[in-house]
Every structure is written in C-alpha cells, then in structure tokens.
Amino acid sequence: MNLLIELVAFAVAIGVLVVVHEYGHYSVARLCGVKVLRFSIGFGKPLAQWVSKKTGTEWTVSALPLGGYVKMLDERETGEPIDEADLPHAFNRQPVGKRIAIVAAGPLANFLLAIVLFAVVYATGVSEPAPIVAAPPSHSAAAQAGFQGGETIVAVGSATGSDTEQVRSWSDLRWKLLAAAFDDDSRVVLSARDGDGTYDFPLDLSQLSSKDLDDDFMSRLGLEAGGGTLRVAGVEPGSAAQQAGLAAGDRLRSIDGRPVDSASAFIAYVKGHAGKPVRIEVERGSNGDVVPLTIVPAAQRDPDTGEQVGRIGAALATQVPSVDVRYGPLESVRLGAQRSWDIAAYSVRMFGRMLTGDASLRNLSGPVTIADYAGKSARLGPSAFLSFLALVSISLGVLNLLPIPVLDGGHLLYYLVEAVTGKAVSDRWQLILQRAGLACIVALSAIALFNDLARLIHF
C-alpha cells in the first residue's frame, strides 16, 4: 500500500511540475507570436495525443513520464522548408529579448507555483512543533547560551540587535538559523520566554562546519524541540533495558536526577555511561505511578568513531506540543514569496558549496528519493504534500537556471552573450558546449542515482 501511495504521489508531483514548467514556456511563446508545434508531457512513444484546431499545437502524453518539452517552429530544427507565412512565427526569427523571455518562463513558472503553494499552506494553516527548547546536552552551544530546557523561542536577532525576526514554530526557527549560518553569522541572539519574562540567549554558530549544515545542524547546536513527553516505544529482548524492567509505554521523567524530554539528550547521556549504572525514573500505567529503575548500558562499538559507547536497547518516541500557524491572504503571499526566495538562495549556495567541495555530493537526490518523500508527505496530509511540491518546484527552477548547456540556463547564457556582443554563439561552439553540458547532466544524474541507491540499501 505504501508503495502504491509513493508511486501515485510521485506521478502527481512530477506531472504537476512538468505541466507548469512547460506551460510557462508555451504561454510566453504564444504571447510572443511563436508557433508551438508540440506540447509533450513525457518523452518517447506517444500514448495519447490530440491537435488543437485553434492553434495547431499537438498535445501529447508520452510513455516516459520524467519530464516534458515544448517544440516550437524553428528553421534550425526542421528538415523541410517553412511556409513563407510562418517564418515570422519561427522561434529563431524572434528578437533576443523575446527568446530570453520564452526560455526563462519555464523556471519562473516553477517559482510562481511554489509561491502559490506556500501561500495556500500559510493561509489554510498548518500544525507544526512549537519552538520550545528541550534540555540541551552539556557543553553544547545551546547549553553555553544558557538554555536549560522549557524556554519558548519567540525571535531570532543579529548579534548587534539591528535585525530581529519573529519565530512562530520550530521549522521557522530552523530556517532562520540555517539562513544565518549560510550568511556566515558567527553569533545570533535568541529571545525566549522563560516563566514570566523574556530573555536573550546569545547562540554561537561558529562551531558549525559545512558537514554540519549538510546534516542535522540543530542537534549539533544542542537544539531539539521539547516541552513534550519522551516515551519508550519498544524494548529489545535480552537488552539492558529489558533486564532492568523498562517496558513499552513508559514515560521517561529523569535520568540520574536530570529531567528529560529530548531523545537526543537521553541517548547522548546513555552513550557516555557504558558499563556504568544510571538511575531512571519513569511514569507507568494510567495512574502515572513513578517507578525508579537502574540500568547498566551495555558497551558497544560506535561504527562512526570506533569508540565504546553505552546502549540500553530501547526505542524512544517524542511527543512535542504543536502550534497552528495561520496567516491572512496578503501575508500568506508575502511569506510564500519570502520562503521561496530563501529556499532558492539556499539551493544556489548549496550547489556552489558542492562545486567548491565545501558540501557533500550526497545532497543530490534522484527520482527514488523524490518518490519516497512524495509518499511520506502525502501520508502526512495535504499541507505537507503541498509544501513538498513547492520545495521540489523551486529545486527544478533553480536546476534549470544553472548555466549548463541543454538546460534553460545554458540557452539563456547563449542569448545573453548575443545581447551583449550583438552576435549569436556559433553553431560549432554550441555543439561543443551541448556535448559538455550533456556530460555534466549525465554525471549529476549518475551521482543522484547512486545517492538514491545508497539511501535505499544503506551502504
């Protein structure tokens, strides 16, 4: 059933994104007076097609649904003479400004779709984890900033205090900290409510590496959503947890006298106490009876560091408070545009970091990963799926604007050179660059497919 949901969600996502992208090219081409011969969803053998009596455009659905294209009348691509009456409507006969507009319309349509989708999500409302901080691990940046757990973050500001932004949810906080890290801000100030007052917590971001930004940088800072409950989801037979009497459904209250509401903090503490007894208090049963337990974590080799770490053999589940984030129509559109811009800027920076070696190529994803996340977001509900669709739409727009021949960005580069020099790029150079661009696309596709397989079979 999950596989069916993933396939359907993937097909819907790719179908919508391709149609919007290609319709951007098509609509601007028509506005510029260019004759469109074919509008195809997919590649290869046509499965269904019809011809518009009004425009003469052939609309096609083809067998390979991983893209699409708009074929325009062009003297360079036809082997037959073009009627004299149609020559003014050929793409290659258009001024360079119109050609730039037609090519840029596809990616711009993807960005516009993302703005609309985010605006719909913001206007209809979405439930997200509240920006409440869990008790951070000792010596983490969050602990050094003064967080003890239970504080509600309400704003993020620069170290100088000149720029402050409101925080409405945990994901909102994550995006603002990610943007600050990419802007190379070494320190930000988090304003948080603690009890009856609001206090400032200076958070050091300088310890974050490029690898941290590729992975879970929030945990690296010691920040995890809190304010909820930490329960035992399952216990492995014969494990230290089972021998100590820990059971599924127990609510963890404290470890060695320290309150816990963070899975990562609990796991980190257990890892540091291999072979040493730790005292745990849990609430059990409908009456919430407090049961003290003593567990001796088993020593186990960490595959990443090679060090001996503690492990009790229990699966944990965290339930955190949520907030309903909802905005008015105009504010939703503004925030949709802002979020789209932030994601697009982040994507460009990530591509740049991958080119310079500052970010891992593991960040590239292919159709398998997209299908997986499409299915997961669809199961979470309409808001999650629309947000996922907006994210992929932005990624598609950014990817197509890269100055790689065979992509829209490569064609834009040709036309910009023509606009500046007054001369078109020669056919010889276009052929050479097309081959180089195709090699780049094949290499990127191979890396993305490898990453998909690596995530799938965990190697």
Annotated catalytic residues are: 22
Measure the N-to-C terminal CA separation of the chain; round to a whole number of Å.
26
Distance CA 192, CA 227 (A): 14
Q: Which of 192, 110, 106 is nearest to 145 (CA)?
A: 192
Helix count and strand count (H, E) for the chain: 13, 16
Q: Which of 35, 43, 94 is nearest to 66 (CA)?
A: 43
Q: List Cβ neighbours of 158 (8 Å cut-off, separation of 6 or more).
A: 164, 185, 188, 189
Torsion from C-alpha of 139, 140, 146, 151, nearest 10 degrees: -140
Q: Side chain identity at 192, as an amino acid letter?
A: A
Q: Side chain identity at 77, as an amino acid letter?
A: E
Distance CA 394, CA 176 (A): 18
CA 46 to chain centre: 33
Instruction: Report the SS3 class of residue 245.
Output: coil
Token digits of residue 280: 């745990």
Q: Which residues pair with 192 in a beta bridge?
A: 153, 199
- Helices 96-124 + 382-401 axis angle, to 10: 160
Instruction: Report the SS3 class of residue 324.
Output: strand
CA distances (Å), origin 230, targets 225, 241, 249:
11, 15, 10
- Helices 367-380 + 427-457 axis angle, to 10: 60
Backbone angles phi, psi at 309, to 5 degrees: -125, 160
* Block residue for tokens 């900290």: 177
Distance CA 32, CA 24 (A): 12
- How many residues does this entry show for the chain? 459
Distance CA 283, CA 452 (A): 41
HEC states along 171-207?
HHHHHHHHHHHHCCCCEEEEEEEECCEEEEEEEECCC
Q: What does the radius of gyration of the chain's CA atoms come to, in whole angstroms?
A: 27
Token digits of residue 239: 């494990």
Token digits of residue 183: 């802007």
